Amino acid sequence: MPRLFCVLLLSLSTMLASAAAVDNLYDVSEPVAGQQAEERDAALSRALAVLVQRLSGSRTALDNSVVQEALKAPQGFANQYGYRELPNGLMLEAAFNPLMVDNLLRQAGVAVWGASRPAVLTWWLNQASDETVALVGDGSEQAASLRNGAQYAGLPISLPLADLDEQLLASLETVSGQPQGLEAASQRYTSDARLAVVAKPVAAGFEAQWQGWMGEWQVRGSASGADQMALSRDVYQQLAAQLAARFVVADTAQQGQFMLVVHGVTDLGRYAQLERLLEPFNPKLLGAQADRMSYQLQASREQLAAQLGLAGIIAAPEARPQVQPGVDANGQPVLPAADSAGMAEHYRWP
């Protein structure tokens, strides 16, 4: 144990994977017409609804009767709120209490998606009415509205630099038809998932076709909005719902309690990252030996594999020690306990 943490303390800055913790996960901004009590309460209710969808990844969570009752009295869930005047109008900014909101969702039987989520590299192509296209880059004016949409949905994102080579590569044919052709260019950025979007103006505002992928996993959809910010919110909320379906198991019957052993925890960066990744599973640290950390978890094995995969941590059944059945007083074989190291799920950093 001392040896492990001596090694960890020497390597605080080492963070190798791209899964990212969402900043300000429990903060929500909503437009408001004024500062009257009725306007404030309505905006707080909308903000809490946004947060419920952000934490669950599902619009259906808003149909839950426990959640609906909470939306009638949202003030009790807010630590603080205030107003900010923006060029496009007044915004109410609310900071909700994480413990109270999480307890609400647990009482409602709604699974909570933790703050550690796939980092999404976004290739967003704007198509003008004259058919010309432009790639949205990290330093462009529209980047702020994309980040706003991603924050609204609870997704950590990055944008390409959109230099000349990338502008030429991100053609309409590639982004709309075969976005996997962007994969080689995506390697220069740190991310887990990719998102390719083609957006264009229409009579009612804007619409977009989007495709997301992560390894062999692929999804697609269409979105619309009155303006660019509303469009980006719709795109990212749809993507978040698809990702949540992959990383969050809502049915607790699919979950079980078991022991996890992770090999290759060689520095403090990896230890801190592992703690964040395991946060949704209510982990209990059982022990540490050399570069191995042992936990007791409540999760499904499929969800655990997807979550650890964000950091490149892979299953390592070969690391499981060989165990032999014991014998009881009557000479009958006795299998080892389900939470013993021999029966645990073993994973490792490559």
Q: What is the mean pLDDT of residues 242-271?
A: 82
Which of 149-153, 195-199, 221-225, 324-328 is least confident?
A: 324-328
341 has a pLDDT exceeding 80 = no
Q: CA–CA separation, 128 vs 134, rounded Å?
A: 8
18 has a pLDDT exceeding 90 = no
The pLDDT confidence band at residue 281, using thresholds 50, 70 and 90, is confident
pLDDT number for residue 13: 32
9 has a pLDDT exceeding 90 = no
301 has a pLDDT exceeding 90 = no
| Whole-number average pLDDT of the chain | 87
* Cα distances (angstroms) measured from residue 149 to each of 34, 85, 225, 239, 263: 23, 19, 11, 11, 37
Domain segments of the chain: what residues?
2-17+252-348, 26-112, 119-246
pLDDT number for residue 319: 84
Query: Quick one: what percent of the chain has pLDDT higher than 70?
Result: 86
The pLDDT confidence band at residue 12, using thresholds 50, 70 and 90, is very low
The pLDDT confidence band at residue 332, using thresholds 50, 70 and 90, is low
The pLDDT confidence band at residue 115, using thresholds 50, 70 and 90, is confident
Say whether domain 119-246 belongs to CATH 1.20.970.10: no
Which of 21-25, 139-143, 221-225 is least confident?
A: 21-25
Entry pTM: 0.77
Q: CA–CA separation, 128 vs 208, rounded Å?
A: 12
26 has a pLDDT exceeding 80 = yes
254 has a pLDDT exceeding 60 = no
Which tens digits make up the pLDDT trace of 137-168?
999 999 999 999 999 999 999 999 999 999 99
pLDDT number for residue 3: 46
64 has a pLDDT exceeding 70 = yes
